[in-house]
Amino acid sequence: MNRRKKLNQILKANAKKANAKLAPKSKDKYISKADRLKLESEPAQDTPIAPDTPS
């Protein structure tokens, strides 16, 4: 492999990596099981129970 081809190969690889970093992420951020349970329990505690009938 000559020098020019090797250099172009390296530059293309670096450009590809840079474009991949800028591209939007297709996966959601990982949330651990403990954090998911914590998030589920928080809204249940925060919701106040309002009476349906006016007195």
Mean pLDDT for back-to-back runs of 10 residues, the chain (55 residues): 94 96 85 92 67 65
What's at 17, amino acid-wise?
Answer: K
d(CA 48, CA 12): 58
The model's pTM is 0.43
What's at 55, amino acid-wise?
Answer: S
- Count the alpha carbons within 13 Å of 25 in the hemisphere toward its beta carbon: 4
Token digits of residue 17: 């990596």
